[in-house]
């Protein structure tokens, strides 16, 4: 059996636990390491001072918006590709993959140029204070330009995962992350480049990940052929990509907006508050990105099963994913909730105010993140099934619909506590909404299964 046939077998017939392990664990490890090297960036930069630490916290959401373009085309295409492969339509799946890759890189380049032209006003909008701005501009000037490689990587990450090659994604992420971790102290301290050194290390790591994906393409390991001539911008193709990709991009933008709102609100309490909340953001992202990585393995299985009308398989994948992701979130959350002061203190030279703010926020977020696995399975499931509207609504809850009103109103009546507890409150509200959206989805899937069984029985007769 060739490698392409094995990939299709993994998506369509391998037992769910085995398929989830094969698809989800490699992407989970890759995303976890990816989040870890963001944390390592923060760790090494924290040795330079609170203003430098605040600088990378301010730039972080801007990078997330640029990378969101990779998710716009990559995640949008991945959902459609999985369903096309489930139907056996390899030809159109090939065209969708090419369209997504070349479009993301082209649009990404334009957005990066615009970001660099208006860099200082953007950084101020994101919460940079006068003391933070020079360091933020230095870091962003290198980091944002290098995001063109990250746009490519994120798009390929989604496309490669959709064809069942999760190990390639893991390899690309691991190699980039390991190199970044090794280069950070070298460029920041040995070469004495400060925040610029952190940005250079990240840029090099992204280029290495890009090389892994290019090798995968040129050695023809992929199910797809990425050719410019195969790009197709038909109404059907673009609507299928955008109905999933746009909600994903909006989620990414909302993530950036939420971080910016926290930075702006925390700015009233000084650089220590911005730095403390920035550390919490990166620590929580360790858990959330790990879950996202695992769910990236779940999505193509769900989309393929739905496209092939294998509803029993789809239902089992949902239950297993909820169980495994929740167990992970509970363990992760307990660690954060029990040891917040010890963890946050690793990211400062002894700023007591930063530790106090960060520890209180981390404890609350550690408790609320225990709900994250349940919420993420369903917000991703709607997108995997091509239900863009429902996926958009649910996905926008945690850092948009629920979070934005809370972060705007709560600090007015609760001060700094309102900033620290805004995300945990939004997490609880999002989990409640998830319950009410999951019930009708399962009723619809049950009805579709009965209809499919009735048609199959009639054909056999």
**Cα-Cα end-to-end distance for the chain:** 34
Of the pLDDT bands very low, low, confident and very high (cuts 50, 70, 90), residue 282 is confident
Domain boundaries, the chain: 16-456
Q: Is the pLDDT of residue 271 over 80?
A: yes
How far apart, in Å, are the Cα atoms of 189 and each of 184, 186, 194?
8, 6, 7
Q: Is the pLDDT of residue 334 over 90?
A: yes
* Predicted pLDDT of residue 461: 58
CA atoms of 430 and 395, how far apart (whole Å): 9
Q: What is the CA radius of gyration of the chain?
A: 22
Tally of CA atoms within 13 A in the half-sphere of 5 that contains its CB: 2
Q: Is the pLDDT of residue 459 over 70?
A: no
Only one residue has tokens 């997330």, namely: 64
Mean pLDDT, range 378-393, rounded to an integer: 91
Q: Is the pLDDT of residue 192 over 60?
A: yes
CA atoms of 165 and 181, how far apart (whole Å): 25
Mean pLDDT, range 266-286, rounded to an integer: 90
Percent of the chain exceeding pLDDT 90 equals 55
For the chain, the average pLDDT equals 90
Q: pLDDT tens digit string along 197-237?
A: 999 999 999 999 999 999 999 988 888 888 898 899 999 89
Q: Is the pLDDT of residue 68 over 90?
A: no
- Comparing 134-143, 248-257, 265-274, the range with the smallest average pLDDT is 248-257
Q: Is the pLDDT of residue 276 over 60?
A: yes
Of the pLDDT bands very low, low, confident and very high (cuts 50, 70, 90), residue 255 is confident
- Comparing 36-45, 96-105, 377-386, the range with the smallest average pLDDT is 36-45
Vertex 114: Cα angle to 108 and 117 (nearest 5): 140
Mean pLDDT, range 419-444, rounded to an integer: 96
Percent of the chain exceeding pLDDT 70 equals 97
* Predicted pLDDT of residue 200: 96
* Predicted pLDDT of residue 34: 67
* Predicted pLDDT of residue 17: 92
Q: Is the pLDDT of residue 1 over 60?
A: no
Only one residue has tokens 């009308």, namely: 309
Instruction: Give the pTM.
Output: 0.80
């Amino acid at each position: 059996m060739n490698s392409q046939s094995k990939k299709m077998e993994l998506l369509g017939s391998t037992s769910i636990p085995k398929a989830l392990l094969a698809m989800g664990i490699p992407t989970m490890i890759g995303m976890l390491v990816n989040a870890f090297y963001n944390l390592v960036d923060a760790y090494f930069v924290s040795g330079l001072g609170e203003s430098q630490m605040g600088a990378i916290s301010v730039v972080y959401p801007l990078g997330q918006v640029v990378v969101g373009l990779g998710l716009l085309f990559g995640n949008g295409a991945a959902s459609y590709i999985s369903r096309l492969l489930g139907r056996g339509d390899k030809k159109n799946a090939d065209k969708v993959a090419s369209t997504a890759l070349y479009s993301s890189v082209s649009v990404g380049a334009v957005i990066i140029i615009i970001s660099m032209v208006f860099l200082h006003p953007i950084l101020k909008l994101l919460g940079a204070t006068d003391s933070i701005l020079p360091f933020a501009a230095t870091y962003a000037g290198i980091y944002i330009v290098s995001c063109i490689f990250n746009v490519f990587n994120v798009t390929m990450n989604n496309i490669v995962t959709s064809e069942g090659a999760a190990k390639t994604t893991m390899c690309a992420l691991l190699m980039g992350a390991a190199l970044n971790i090794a280069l950070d102290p070298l460029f920041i301290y040995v070469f004495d480049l400060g925040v610029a050194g952190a940005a250079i290390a990240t840029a090099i790591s992204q280029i290495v990940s890009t090389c892994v994906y290019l090798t995968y393409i040129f050695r023809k390991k992929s199910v797809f052929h990425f050719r410019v001539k195969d790009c197709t911008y038909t109404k059907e193709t673009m609507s299928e990509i955008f109905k999933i990709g746009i909600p994903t991009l909006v989620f990414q933008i909302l993530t950036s907006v939420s971080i910016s709102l926290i930075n702006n609100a925390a700015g009233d309490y000084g650089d220590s508050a911005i730095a403390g909340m920035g550390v919490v953001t990166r620590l929580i992202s360790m858990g959330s990105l790990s879950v996202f990585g695992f769910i990236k393995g779940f999505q193509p299985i769900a989309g393929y099963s739905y496209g092939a009308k294998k509803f029993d398989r789809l239902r089992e994948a949902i239950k297993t994913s909820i169980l495994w992701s929740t167990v992970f979130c509970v363990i992760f959350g307990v660690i954060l909730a029990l040891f917040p002061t010890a963890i946050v203190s690793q990211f400062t030279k002894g700023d007591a105010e930063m530790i106090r703010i960060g520890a209180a926020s981390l404890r609350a977020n550690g408790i609320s993140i225990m709900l994250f696995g349940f919420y993420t399975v369903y917000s991703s499931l709607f997108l995997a099934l091509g239900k863009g509207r429902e996926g958009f609504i649910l996905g926008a809850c945690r850092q948009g619909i629920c979070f934005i009103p809370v972060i705007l109103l709560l600090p007015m009546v609760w001060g700094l506590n309102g900033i620290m507890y805004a995300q945990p409150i939004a997490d609880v509200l999002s989990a409640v909404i998830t319950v009410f959206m999951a019930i009708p989805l399962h009723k619809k899937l049950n009805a579709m299964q009965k209809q499919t069984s009735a048609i199959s029985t009639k054909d056999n007769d």
